[in-house]
Amino acid sequence: MRCPITYAKIKSGKYSLEGLHSLSPKLHTLIDLPLTLSEIRQEYIRRAGKMSIQGVQPKFSMKLSVKDQQFEIVDMKGKFILKPQNELYPELPENEDLSMKMAAICGIEVPWHGLIYSKDNILNYVIRRFDRKGHTDKLALEDFAQLSQATRRTKYKSSMEKVISIIDTYTTFPILEKIKLFKRTLFNFLIGNEDMHLKNFSLITRNGKVELSPAYDLLNTSIVIEKPKEEIALPLAGKKRNLNRKDFIERFGKERMEIPGKKVVELVDSLYNCFPEWIDLIKISFLSNSMKDKYLNLLKERKKRIFG
């Protein structure tokens, strides 16, 4: 029995008090989402033309009612996003929640996220919107497809070098953002995320500073897609597969991003030191045992390629 928000052991109920309080200190229980998986999918079709959220994967805007102790699906102005189970790809909510927690372990900024139950006891992924401030304010947010005049159809027609150029052009302190980008890029390779296209990078304006937004849409796609042909969505040093330590450290970090060599090594070492905690987290995650094994095996293979 573990809390799907914190993964902490619980003796009774579905959520730990710590998990509930991470949503709101006034939340003492959380009623199941009042829909089954089938009803969620029907609701998505019904609301598809109304909601302000777009994307390939079905998702909903939600608000949390502390008074009613439950989440509610809304058409607009929700502060949370719900991603239910996917018909085509198994265990995406469990996969994404785990991957986001792994990112947090190594110091990558991520929004609040967790898993919640629907009334048929099926898990759904929930993430708090990071482009909202207070009750009405919306922070300026632009993804890299918008910044490079790309579309959903052309979001893969770019490169990591062009991503760097966007950071150099628009951010307040480019070197700090390139350090963040290096860490996220190597992290995504290590966890098998080969779907970091232009729309999965964004710049946000906070307190007068333009910077990389908190990370989102992090998951191990390599264990979901049967025999993936690529290891990275946007080519790095002209390559989308067979990437190695030299590609990341020398060509990407030192040469193209111009990060001091000592800092690059420090970033790489910080990721290496996360492996024991990542492994422990995978083992207690909500993935099925077969998916856990796939995740662990991929992580082991990627570790060997970068660290030997």
Local structure of 232: helix, strand or coil: coil
> What angle is formed at CA 175 by the lines to CA 173 and CA 178, rounded to 5 degrees?
110
Say what the pLDDT of residue 88 is. 87
pLDDT higher than 70, residue 136: no
Torsion angle, CA of 296/302/307/308, rounded to 10 degrees?
Answer: 90
Phi and psi at residue 51, in whole multiples of 5°?
-70, 150
- Alpha-carbon span 251 to 247, nearest angstrom: 5
- The 10s digit of each residue's pLDDT in 289-306 is 999 999 999 999 999 999
- The 10s digit of each residue's pLDDT in 143-201 is 999 999 998 889 999 999 999 999 999 999 999 999 999 999 999 999 999 999 999 99
Say what the pLDDT of residue 56 is. 56
User: DSSP label at 32?
Assistant: P
The strands making up 123-128's β-sheet, listed across from edge to edge, are: 70-74, 60-65, 80-83, 123-128, 113-117
Say what the pLDDT of residue 93 is. 97
- The 10s digit of each residue's pLDDT in 75-131 is 888 999 999 999 889 999 999 999 999 999 999 999 999 999 999 999 999 999 999
